[in-house]
Chains A and B, each alone.
Chain A
Amino acid sequence: MDALKKIFKFLSSMTFAIILLVVLAAACAAGSFITQGQTYEWYAEAYSESAAAWIMALRLNDAFHSVWFVVIALFLCGNLLLCNVIRLKSLIQKSRQAGEPKKEPEQTADAMAHQISDPVQVFERLRMPKPKSLEQDGKQILFSVKNRAGIWGAWVCHLGILLLILGFGLGQMTKAEYTVYGVPGQTLLIGETGLFLQIDDFQVNLREDDTVEQYTADITVFRAPQGSTAEPDSEHAVISVNHPGRMFGMTFYQNATGWAARVTVEKSGSPIQSEIVCAGEYLPVVDLNDLVIVFNAFYPDYVSVPGSMPMSASSKLNNPGYLYSVYYKGNIIGMNVLLEGEQVTIDDYTVTFTEPQNYTLIQIKKDSFTWLAFMGGITTMIGLFFAFYLQLQAVCAVRDEDETWTVYGFCNKGGKLYEDLFSRAVQNTEKEAGRKE
């Protein structure tokens, strides 16, 4: 029983909190130094075989989602929860007591006593609220307290961190994420949601210096109607970078862009295939799957410099150039740059590239707990502000028999700095009283 108690005490202790925080920091540092998400072979190549073995064994290849990382986070949550639960009662008590006059200096570590004739001025100089006058043990007492909420700072901050970790964790476990890409006019299925995304328009706004100002996509999302006569349930949004749209409880982000073109294949003079293909993608020929056209790259303003790689002089569509390669049974049989109006012939087949245009890549996310993490962050901020900038202060003046007053000051965490402040307030008050006399 004693052992259990000891373990419980340790798990709820600040020592454990400090250990956990240090371990967490070390884990984060390790996770940032080691490139994440690679294979054993990759690490063996980049570092060494034994390092790779350690990395894989400790799951340092995916440190932030590994079991041990989650376990540390859970321990921290438990630690925080226990700490806050245990301290709640004494905090409530402390908060109540803070409202009562502290006339005995030994009640508080930082208390100070000074004899003075006009105590009200000290309250004013210390920017305390107007003091209350009351009687205790036959003595008149002036008392004022401020920043009582500050006592709760650490507690609120701890609560905020708990909410933050909870919101982040739940979000990680339940979130859904999809990516679609295409050109205006296309309609794409969004994963297994049963929703369709139609790209109505996509614009890349260039500045005069040829840099990109904004990417803007006009999109409509709809649910395929059950009965054929029903109107589809649809929502529309214009999204751009930094301005996502919300539809059907999901958030749509304009995430990336690239070039696409229409690839047309003709056989013996008659078209057999015509599709929009994005740069980087490939197209197997319909009636001869062993023949594959790869659209390697696109140059909107193609310039040919002998002896160097193809390049684009600007982002404007002045002289479209399509870098393609052709594979037959997995072997490359040709590679070149085609210009507008040119074609490549492979036996009976001819291939042309036309209609260069930007495609848009849209990311779709659903995280139902972002709000919780956000609340956690805000709560943490408020807690920190309370802890750091609302320091509990109390001033108490007791009237002595000889009509002079003794003032006591107290500031939570104020230490010697508050003592200076307090002494200065008292001295200045006395100086002024001296001058008046």
Chain B
Amino acid sequence: MLQVENTLFTIVMLLYFAAMILFFVYIAIKKDPVAKIAIGLQLAGLVLHTAALICRGIGAGRLPFTNQYEFATSFAWGLCLVSLIFLLKFKFPVLGAFSAPLIFLIIGYAAMQSKDVHSLMPALQSNWLGFHVSTAIIAYGAFGVSFVLSIIFLLRDKAKEGSFWDLHIPSREKLDLISYRSVALGLLFLTFTIITGAIWAERAWGSYWSWDPKETWSLVTWIIYMVYLHLRIRRGWQGKAAAIFAVAGFICVMFTYIGVNTFLPGIHSYK
């Protein structure tokens, strides 16, 4: 099973790469059919990616959510899923051109991690882990999309009236609303992630909140997006300022995900 997963993973990477290149070609030659093929490739990648995750789960005999490799590949999956949903729902292929590199970057990061399957230490053997991580995957995916949308929002002002960009990117107001939708999705799931994490910590370690760096940074992320929401409501801050906060929010997401493990001392282990 793990062998199958390995092969699928490689194919998925190639598909995501091909989709990214085609999205770039679409931007370069501005022909809509190219975007359709790119979306098709990405969809095919997502389907195989789902199959790869299932194989990993069967091969490891548990949910594939427990180490850096597994979370990275799941993160790429979540980002691809949410990106495709937004792209198709709002008929907005340019979004694909911006999210594809991010997806490829994250799955590339996954490829660099060790793929070994380790048995779980007792603290990780909890049903809450499944809820905790699967909601985090959707939350991170949605925040990734809001990040990409905010970047597009900030770049949009440079588009000349009547140009390809102007015609193929929704208006500022719509972009802001779409970005708000993705932040909303992310925040709802992040809140769920934090709550299920707290319940799990309470059962495993006897304390639902202990200011561990990972907990603290997920709270910082949560607060940043809450600020984004309130800025959006305030007159004069809608748009650019809110978009900048959405970008900052995603930087926090990435820091929570990678930075905390790398730079800060943590106690997320059973010793």
Assembly CA distance A241 to B191 (angstroms): 25
Contact status A28-B220, CB under 8 Å: yes
Contacts of A36 in B (CB 8 A): 211
Residues of chain B from 226 to 241 with CB closer than 8 A to chain A in the complex: 226-227, 230-231, 233-234
Contacts of A243 in B (CB 8 A): 203
B177 at the binding interface (Cβ < 8 Å): yes
Interface string of A55-91 (1 = CB under 8 A from B): 0000000001000000000000000000000000000
Contact status B224-A25, CB under 8 Å: yes
Contact status B206-A251, CB under 8 Å: yes
How close is B226's CB to chain A, nearest CB, in angstroms?
A: 6
Contacts of A168 in B (CB 8 A): 209
Chain B residue, CB-CB nearest to A15: B234
B121 at the binding interface (Cβ < 8 Å): yes
Partner of A32, one of B123, B206, B217: B217
Interface string of B185-197 (1 = CB under 8 A from A): 1011001101100
Contact status A28-B231, CB under 8 Å: no
Interface of A, helix, strand, loop or mixed by DSSP: helix
A242 at the binding interface (Cβ < 8 Å): yes
Residues of chain B from 207 to 253 with CB closer than 8 A to chain A in the complex: 207-209, 211, 213, 216-217, 219-220, 223-224, 226-227, 230-231, 233-234
Contacts of B126 in A (CB 8 A): 242
Contact status A253-B226, CB under 8 Å: no
B162 at the binding interface (Cβ < 8 Å): no
Assembly CA distance A212 to B20 (angstroms): 43
Partner of B191, one of A21, A244, A380, A417: A380
Contact status B209-A417, CB under 8 Å: no
Given contacts A212-B122, A214-B125, A381-B192, A415 and B227 within 8 Å (CB-CB): no
Chain B residue, CB-CB nearest to A160: B191
Contact status A21-B188, CB under 8 Å: no
Contacts of B174 in A (CB 8 A): 415-417
Chain B residue, CB-CB nearest to A210: B119
Contact status B123-A241, CB under 8 Å: yes
Given contacts A251-B206, A253-B206, A365-B206, A381 and B191 within 8 Å (CB-CB): yes
Contacts of A370 in B (CB 8 A): 202, 208
B198 at the binding interface (Cβ < 8 Å): yes
A105 at the binding interface (Cβ < 8 Å): no
Contacts of A377 in B (CB 8 A): 191, 194-195, 198
Contacts of B220 in A (CB 8 A): 25, 28-29, 32
Residues of chain B from 68 to 111 with CB closer than 8 A to chain A in the complex: none
Interface string of A239-262 (1 = CB under 8 A from B): 011111000000101011000000
Contact status A240-B122, CB under 8 Å: yes
Assembly CA distance A373 to B209 (angstroms): 11
Interface string of B158-186 (1 = CB under 8 A from A): 00000000000001011001100000110
Interface string of A21-43 (1 = CB under 8 A from B): 11011001101110110000000
Assembly CA distance A251 to B260 (angstroms): 30
How close is A294's CB to chain B, nearest CB, in angstroms?
A: 21
Given contacts A32-B217, A384-B191, A213 and B122 within 8 Å (CB-CB): yes
Residues of A within 8 A of B (CB): 14-15, 17-18, 21-22, 24-25, 28-29, 31-33, 35-36, 64, 168, 207, 209, 211-215, 240-244, 251, 253, 255-256, 363, 365, 370, 373-374, 377-378, 380-381, 384-385, 387-389, 414-417
Q: Can you list 14 pairs linking A and B with CB atoms under 8 Å apart? A: A14-B230, A64-B211, A214-B125, A242-B125, A242-B204, A253-B206, A256-B271, A374-B208, A377-B195, A385-B188, A388-B185, A414-B177, A417-B174, A417-B178
10 further contact pairs, Cβ within 8 A, besides A21-B226, A388-B188, A417-B177: A14-B234, A17-B230, A18-B234, A24-B223, A28-B219, A214-B122, A240-B122, A255-B205, A415-B174, A416-B173
In the A-B complex, the 8 residue pairs with the smallest Cβ-Cβ separation, listed nearest first, are A241-B122, A388-B184, A253-B206, A25-B223, A32-B216, A377-B195, A32-B213, A211-B119
Residues of B within 8 A of A (CB): 118-119, 121-123, 125-126, 171, 173-174, 177-178, 184-185, 187-188, 191-192, 194-195, 198-200, 202-209, 211, 213, 216-217, 219-220, 223-224, 226-227, 230-231, 233-234, 260, 264-265, 270-271
